[in-house]
Structure 1
Amino acid sequence: MTVRQVRFFFVDVFAARPLTGNPLALVPDADGLEESAMKALAREFHQSETTFVLRPTRDDARWRLRSFTPAGFEVGGAGHNALGAWLWLADAGRVDDGDHVQQIGDELLPVTVSRRPDGIHVAMTQGSPRVSEPVADAPAVAEALGIGASAIDAELAVRVGSTGVPHLLVPVHGAEVVDAVRPDARALLSVLRAAGAEGCYVYSIDSRGDAGEGTDADAYARFFNPTVGIVEDPATGTAAGPLAAHLVRAGRLPDGADVRIDQGHALERPSRLVVNVAGDAVTLRGSGVVSGEGLMRL
Structure 2
Amino acid sequence: MPSTRFFWVDVFAQSPLTGNPLALIPDADGLTVEQMVAIAREFNQSETTFLVTPTSDAADYRLRSFTPDGSEVLGAGHNAMGAWIWLSSSGRLPPQRTAFIQQIGSDLLPVRIDAGTVTMQQSPPRFLRRVLEREPLATALGLALTDLDSALSTEVVSTGAEHLMVALSSRGAVDRVVPESAALKQLLADSGAEGCYVYSIEPGADGADAYTRFFNPTVGIAEDPATGTAAGPLTAVLVRDGHAGEGQPVRILQGNSLGRPSILTVLVDGDRVELSGSGLIVAEGTLHL
Paired with 1:22 and 1:133, the residues of 2 have a C-alpha distance of: 29
Paired with 1:55 and 1:175, the residues of 2 have a C-alpha distance of: 43
Paired with 1:123 and 1:159, the residues of 2 have a C-alpha distance of: 26
Paired with 1:205 and 1:51, the residues of 2 have a C-alpha distance of: 31
Give CA deviations for 1:8-49 in whole Å, capped at 9, x if unaligned. Answer: 000000011110000000001100100010011001111110
**1:154-169, aligned counterparts within 5 Å?**
154-169=150-165
Partner of residue 18, structure 1: 16
**1:73-152, aligned counterparts within 5 Å?**
73-96=71-94, 97-115=97-115, 120-152=116-148
State the one-letter code of the partner of 1:200: C
Q: 3-state DSSP class of the match of 2:82?
A: helix
TM-score, with length taken from structure 2: 0.98
1:138 Cα deviation from its structure 2 partner = 1.8
Partner of residue 278, structure 1: 269
| 2:252 maps to which of 261, 273, 293 | 261
| 1:46 maps to which of 34, 44, 47 | 44
Kindly indicate whether the alpha-carbon contact (under 8 Å) linking 2:129 and 2:157 is maintained by their aligned counterparts in 1: no
1:133 Cα deviation from its structure 2 partner = 4.6
Change (3 A) 1:253 1:86: same
**1:131-280, aligned counterparts within 5 Å?**
131-208=127-204, 214-280=205-271
Kindly indicate whether the alpha-carbon contact (under 8 Å) linking 1:207 and 1:262 is maintained by their aligned counterparts in 2: no
Paired with 1:64 and 1:17, the residues of 2 have a C-alpha distance of: 28
Partner of residue 3, structure 2: 5
**Equivalent residue pairs, number:** 287
State the one-letter code of the partner of 1:273: L
1:132 Cα deviation from its structure 2 partner = 3.4
Partner of residue 70, structure 1: 68
Paired with 2:127 and 2:214, the residues of 1 have a C-alpha distance of: 17
Q: 3-state DSSP class of the match of 1:293?
A: strand
Q: Name structure 1 gaps, 5 residues minimum.
A: 209-213
CA RMSD of aligned residues (A): 0.9
Q: Name structure 2 gaps, 5 residues minimum.
A: none
Kindly indicate whether the alpha-carbon contact (under 8 Å) linking 1:199 and 1:225 is maintained by their aligned counterparts in 2: yes
Q: 3-state DSSP class of the match of 2:130?
A: coil
Partner of residue 211, structure 1: none
Paired with 1:109 and 1:35, the residues of 2 have a C-alpha distance of: 22
Percent of aligned pairs sharing the same letter: 55
State the one-letter code of the partner of 1:235: A
Paired with 2:212 and 2:203, the residues of 1 have a C-alpha distance of: 8
Paired with 1:53 and 1:254, the residues of 2 have a C-alpha distance of: 35
Change (3 A) 1:133 1:251: farther
Paired with 2:128 and 2:237, the residues of 1 have a C-alpha distance of: 10
Paired with 2:92 and 2:222, the residues of 1 have a C-alpha distance of: 33
Paired with 1:185 and 1:207, the residues of 2 have a C-alpha distance of: 29
